[in-house]
Structure 1
Amino acid sequence: MVIFGAGYGFRNLARIDWLKTRRLCYWGDIGTHGFAILNQFREQFPHATSLLMDRETLLAHCEHWQTEPNPETAVLTRLTEAEQSLYDDLRENRLGDRVRLEQEKIRFETLVEALGKV
């Protein structure tokens, strides 16, 4: 099942009890807001994993990087160590100026391969 969230604000999903017992993957943009939304999602579903929100995916798609208009700078407490490292690099502009990779820009075959591992 795929749930389209359209960004922040999916607290209503927390009312669906059976979601708390299912394997959940979150797939968002690789950017500061994508990680902030993942952090918010894990407030309701701490067992959720991220999909294609990693350094390898970001670096493999550098030709599609965009500039994030208003980067998030908040301290996020629900990211894995690898996610936190990438988030810190993005918010500190260590990879470039306000780097963001929209999920729609990730190659389809990369998505198919990742979904095959879920």
Structure 2
Amino acid sequence: MDYSKSIINNVVLININLSEASLNQSEDFKKFLYDTTEVTPPKLVLDMSEIQYMDSSFIGALVAGLKNVLSKGGEMALVNVNTDVMALFELTRLDKVFKIYDTKEEAIEELK
């Protein structure tokens, strides 16, 4: 599996183990996110340190996951976003939509 999760201080930490996050993985990832939000309110931290490339379909899965989390009164944060992916978030202005932190510890502290 390309995703793994653990729980730290009532926050679900999701490790995305993909170097290329694209159309091939976006539907599976969206389903994984939806299945992970069964805990109410969901608090998710997505570790994106492995992702070197991301396409629009995977961004769509992230946005759908965020909408699902917010609709349940939860929070979602991204961590370890590399410079190329961050440039994509800035270009699409999604850096204003997502909570983005430098470290897992910082994000978990903010969400717990």
Could you state the TM-score of these two structures normalised by the residue count of structure 2? Answer: 0.38
Whichever structure has more strand as a proportion of its residues is 2
Q: Choose 1 or 2 for highest CA Rg.
A: 1
Please report the TM-score for the alignment, with normalisation by the length of structure 1. Answer: 0.37
